[in-house]
Structure 1
Amino acid sequence: MYCVQCEQSNKGGCAVKVGSCGKTADVADQQDVLLRLMQGVSVYADRAARVGARDEQVDSFTPHAWFTTLTNVNFDSTRFDRLIDRAIGMRERARACALTAGADLSALPEPATWNPGITRAERAAAAPFAAIQRWMDRDGPSVTGLRNLLLYGLKGTAAYSEHARVLGQEEAAINAEFHRISAFLATDPTDIDALLRECLAVGGLNLKVMALLDAANTGRFGHPEITMVRMSPVAGKAILVSGHDMGDLEALLQQTEGLGINVYTHGELMPANAYPGLKKYAHLAGNYGGAWQDQQKEFDAFPGAILMTSNCLINPEIKGYADRIFTAGPVGWNGVPHIQNHEFAPVIACALTQPGFAADAPEQRIPAGFARNTVMGVADTLLGMIKGGEVKNLFLIGGCDGARPGRNYFHDLAVSTPADSLVLTLGCGKFRFNREDMGTINGIPRVLDMGQCNDAYSAIQVAVAVAGALGCEVNDLPLHYGISWFEQKATAVLLTMLHLGLRKIHLGPTLPQFLTPEVLGVLIDKFDIRPTGDPQEDLARMLAAA
């Protein structure tokens, strides 16, 4: 396998039999085949959309299929066999839809007609035709790198779209734009300017998708409220829910009500504790643990059942919890029971057989719930503090976390920010510093937890509103960015920030391997992207520019 899609990639790419994430070469091949077929699906769906036609099943399957190929999501080869079968069927549905609508089906690119075979052996033999290194010699690293930037941005956008879709929110126009860009990618484009335009188009699309997901979350669970989230366990039977999917969490809370089982969030689900529609359940006991990369240690120590939703799964076989972890949604691992249709009885039964926590741990709480509605609710106060000089700088520090050395940069940057500044944070990158006592300004905590990584939308809306109230552009605000990059959702968010014209983004701790020096040079020139360096030097540069 050869993989450069995330920070776990070895130097030069994961040219190995098993990736750093635990993905096997066989599964990597299956994911490549699936994505090539899905580009073919989009070719027909795009042609159909041009004449006003669509197939709802195709549109529903598309984000889910793309989501399964993200880093640390699905490692289950049997499920990929089924996904590839379904993709072939969906391609035919999309073709039939286009034909019936009278769409032009001339000059079809390769993914629209490519046949990877029926058996796993045939598909393994066909996989090199779908692998990214196929084009490295023909098109060079810069063109290939830009296509990867586009591909991985689409992956992240698909993930957020799937999060919204499972909560009942999707839009035909968003699906059509996704298919359009995916169909463009299916042509194996080589024009650098066109590739850059489409990368920014992904950023614009992802902004719409994040708005849709924000509407799905707040429409279903209410707007987050300032909440002191318990970070230490209490006595009793226990279930731990990790990932991003608040719909899964809600269903589990409903099914465990009155059973004497405490439910805890983990990782990116911690912000769920601030939503009224979820915090109303008394047995939502708080958050256990921190970011995803520590899960093997934390899951092993957790004395209950574990449910992994959406993404960030690490090999559960290494530690002693493989017999009490379950997956849901796009997540999968060979041999791990998979929950469908929110039927969580096996998870509950497992939790009842486990010892649970014997006693309450010393109480620890941290504030959360500073999403856009909360922050804008005190907009006058915030603007007054900025105009009066009580708040001189705003920092957006967060994103995806990971295990590589250098990620203490974001902790060191956050704790070094001046006392007259506010730190907006989101994603699991916040676990680097969210238990630090950084004080308050006029009773407002200096660290404002805005939520999950998709809640970059909240941060963007707050920045736009503050700039509008001050009569300036967002780039003129004393707003500084320290963005922790890891995988494809972060790629989509970065493209959204670039689409909005945000500049001087400090990105790290290591840059994506698919960004060749030439491509990085373009991004530095156009957007002043800045690789992270020494946190004190970066902070001094940020403050000097304020």
Structure 2
Amino acid sequence: MSMFCYQCQEAAGCTGCTKVGVCGKSPETAKSQDLLIYVAKGISLLNNMARENNIAIAKADKFVVDSLFTTITNANFDENIIIEKVREGLKLREEIKGALETAGVESFNKTTSFFDKLKTIFTGKTEDINLHDAAVWSASTLEDLHLKAETVGILATENEDVRSLRELITYGLKGMAAYLHHANNLGHDKAEINAFIQKGLAATLDDSLSADDLVALTLETGKFSVDVMALLDGANTSTYGNPEITSVNIGVRNTPAILISGHDLHDLEQLLKQAEGTGVDIYTHSEMLPAHYYPAFKKYDNFVGNYGNAWWKQKEEFEKFNGPILMTTNCLVPPTASYKDRVYTTGVVGFEGLKHIDADAEGNKDFSAIIAHAKKCKAPTEIEKGSIVGGFAHNQVLALADKVVDAVKTGAIKRFFVMAGCDGRAKSRNYYTDFASQLPKDTVILTAGCAKYKYNKLDLGDIGGIPRVLDAGQCNDSYSLAVIALKLKEVFELEDINDLPISFNIAWYEQKAVTVLLALLHLGVKDIHLGPTLPAFLSPNVANVLVDTFGIAGIGTVEDDIKLFMGE
């Protein structure tokens, strides 16, 4: 086969992409991404040793986080960028070895081949060890890199169940890295999270670990998934304020504009500041919609609304927007020639032929080129009118706690449905629109992530002034939904979160949704329904463990699922 990838929900045939990625990535890019992850694993192995010996290699933390995020679905399609990242990683790997040797921890035989034993010195005693190939292989030419990439992909792990668990952990770590990357951009970090990410990556190289060991590590990944979402929540709210109930315009003005998509609020802040007073409006797209809920962004007169829907409609919507588009994180769809010259990338995003905006050493970005481009473009073509309401993160919902609790106690609200997660192209995802439409009128939807676009523009009404769709924000704001559930558990004096009148019917697409799922499992949430299909990377045995232990299930028909959830 030309490639093998099954990390997203749209894996071909629900088994894996073997010729070209459904996302649009080429076999060459897919293999380069496999190689980058392999390099990150080798660096993690060595940096774990450095950490144990109190040798700080801060740039290793950043490299691992950026590498994981770069390989997440729909982030970077540019093989040249990824190969350059591989080369950077190989140099960094040697730096870590040098730091270990200088500190007297490691004595490396420089003449050995990368398959030979290396020697290490611990407290003056010399022992022969076998460092994993990921920590010692080398390559001098592009051809060498391509040949290596052929050997280190997913299928290099032969045991199906071990492979499944290794990939489940890796995908959870990819989502964690995405969230940590955003927190880092706002100056927030946590050494324990970086250490765990590298511990988890290194563990996927360890053939001595049993399936039970890997299951335990999977659950530990859930614990740190909660931690990283809490870190990002703190970074966002301490920088931009707590989200508040906000009505967001979905129409347009007759002014040149820039459309910003993705998740990175720091990029948005810099763009808004630089575009202020230039006559250029700024609209959000897809997962950037929740930026409107933060008080700090409301002071910008040129921050005028949200344009369009979820990421997968961008070919149609970017065409009609007319102005330039800034992609700050994953969710890029390979652009068509008709608007490709208007797409700019930044951060980990990449696509050959697109203009990329890098940050300087302090993390600052110069958006003057995209602002100048916007001034030459027509105003956006209007595709809809009206407004949508959001801003129901945990601080805002807890401010309404008395009202919510009273509604539950009086029976006005019978059940909450957590419908967080992702949207996507598959027609089967219309299930979530139908599900939301057919839910009883005495139920409330709690949502976060781009899954909301399946129902956030429906007129579902309210219950005593409480909207029936409460949007907490981006996918990482699923943390808010967990905080709300835990608070309700406390208010109702329940021992078990699963005794709450809350059901979980979650749509997934890519690796950040895996992170959210593992976080919920860590918090003890059971009977989560996951769709539109179960992940292809779950082997039958691993899927059975999740079903037996946590009650994970797929979706059925809308009518049958509503009856099941409502206990009918």
- The alignment of Structure 1 onto Structure 2 pairs a total of residues equal to 538
Q: State the secondary structure of the residue aligned to 1:407.
A: helix
The superposition leaves residues 113-157 of structure 1 with CA deviations (integer Å, 9 ceiling, x where unpaired) of 122x13221111111221111223xx2x22211111111111111
Contact 1:399–1:429 (Cα < 8 Å) also in 2: yes
CA distance, structure 2, for counterparts of residue 119 and residue 280 of structure 1: 52
Structure 1 residue 438, shift from structure 2 partner: 0.9
Which residue of structure 1 aligns with residue 377 of structure 2? 354
Structure 1 residues 392-442: Cα deviation after superposition (integer angstroms, max 9, x where no partner): 111101211111121011111112222112110110010000001111111
Higher radius of gyration, 1 or 2:
2
2:420·2:478 contact (CA, 8 Å) conserved in 1?
A: no
TM-score by length of 1: 0.96
RMSD between superposed Cα atoms in Å: 1.6
Establish whether residue 519 from structure 1 lines up as the match of residue 542 from structure 2. Answer: yes
Query: Residues 132-281 of structure 1 correspond to what in structure 2 (within 5 A)?
Result: 132-136=154-158, 139=159, 141-188=160-207, 191-281=210-300
Kindly indicate whether residue 497 of structure 2 is the aligned counterpart of residue 474 of structure 1: yes
Identify which of 93, 96, 103 aligns with 1:94: 96
Kept in 2: contact 1:396–1:424 (CA 8 A): yes
Residue matched to 1:32: 34
CA distance in 2, matches of 1:87, 1:53: 18
How many angstroms does 1:69 deviate by?
A: 0.4
Distance 1:41 1:361 in 2: 48
Of the three residues 13, 18, 23, the one matched with 1:15 is 18
Q: Distance in 2 between matches of 1:244 and 1:259?
A: 24
Single out whichever of 490-499 and 449-458 deviates more from structure 2. Answer: 490-499
Question: CA offset at residue 99 of structure 1?
Answer: 4.0
Query: Are 2:420 and 1:398 aligned?
Result: yes
The SS at the match of 1:530 is coil
Q: How does 1:413-432 map to 2 (within 5 A)?
A: 413-432=435-454
Residue of structure 1 in register with 2:319 after alignment: 300
**Structure 1 residue 189, shift from structure 2 partner:** 5.4
The CA distance in 2 between the partners of 1:71 and 1:99, in whole Å, is 37
- DSSP-derived class of the 2:566 partner: helix
The DSSP-based 3-state class of the residue aligned with 1:544 is coil
1:428-457 deviation digits (Å, cap 9, x = unpaired): 010000001111111111110000000010
CA distance in 1: counterparts of 2:153 and 2:526, whole angstroms: 33
Rounded Cα–Cα distance in structure 1 between residues aligned with 2:221 and 2:476: 15
Structure 1 position 439 matched with structure 2 position 461: yes
Of residues 28, 50, 53, the one that matches 1:51 is 53
Counterpart residue number, 1:336: 354
| Bigger mean CA offset, 67-76 vs 388-397 | 388-397
Q: Percent identity?
A: 41
Contact 1:238/1:356 (8 A) holds in 2: yes
Q: In the alignment, is residue 380 of structure 1 matched against residue 402 of structure 2?
A: yes
Query: How far, CA to CA, are the matches of 2:269 and 2:207 in structure 1?
Result: 42
Q: Per the alignment, do residues 374 and 152 of structure 1 end up closer, same or farther by CA in structure 2, a change over 3 Å counting?
A: same
Matched residues in 2 for 1:157 and 1:97: separation? 27
Hey, what's the Cα distance between the residues in 2 that align with 1:384 and 1:254? 43
Which amino acid counterpart does residue 237 of structure 1 have in structure 2? P
Larger mean CA deviation between 103-112 and 323-332 belongs to 103-112
- Counterpart of 1:485 in structure 2 is 508
Secondary structure of the structure 1 residue equivalent to 2:446: strand
C-alpha separation between the residues in 2 aligned to 1:190 and 1:332?
A: 35
Amino acid at match of 1:183: A
Distance 1:190 1:362, change over 3 A: closer
Correspondent of 1:321 among 339, 343, 357: 339
Equivalent residue, structure 2, for 1:5: 7
> Is the Cα contact below 8 Å between 2:417 and 2:444 reproduced in 1?
yes
Moved more, 454-463 or 408-417: 408-417
Instruction: Determine the structure 2 residue equivalent to 1:65.
Output: 67
Separation in structure 2 between the aligned mates of residue 157 and residue 40 of structure 1, nearest angstrom: 19
Q: Which residue identity lines up with residue 453 of structure 1 in the other structure?
A: C
CA distance in 2, matches of 1:439, 1:189: 55
Letter in 1 for 2:79: S
- Rounded to whole Å, the distance in 2 between the matches of 1:173 and 1:100 is 25
Deviation at 1:59, TM superposition (A): 1.3
TM-superposed deviation, 1:109: 2.3
Q: Which residue of 1 aligns with 2:117?
A: none
Cα separation, 2, equivalents of 1:133 and 1:452: 33
Q: C-alpha displacement at 1:291, in angstroms?
A: 0.3
**Contact 1:110 / 1:186 at 8 angstroms: preserved in 2?**
no
- Structure 1 residue 216 displacement after superposition: 0.9
Deviation at 1:107, TM superposition (A): 4.3
Distance 2:133 2:207 in 1: 9
Q: Which amino acid aligns with 1:494?
A: L
Which SS does the other structure have where 2:222 is aligned?
helix
Are 2:221 and 2:518, in contact at CA under 8 Å, matched by a contact in 1?
A: yes
Gaps of 5+ in 1: none
Cα gap change, 1:481 to 1:85, in 2 (>3 Å)? same
Q: 2:497·2:525 contact (CA, 8 Å) conserved in 1?
A: yes
* Gap regions ≥5 residues in structure 2: 107-119, 121-128, 360-364
Distance 2:207 2:323 in 1: 48
Match of 1:464 among 472, 475, 486: 486
C-alpha distance in structure 2 between counterparts of 1:403 and 1:189, whole Å: 40
Aligned to 2:109: none
Does the Cα contact within 8 Å between 1:506 and 1:530 map onto a contact in 2? yes
Per-residue CA deviation, residues 514-535 of structure 1 (Å, 9 max, x unaligned), is 1122211111001000101111
TM-score (structure 2 length as normaliser):
0.92
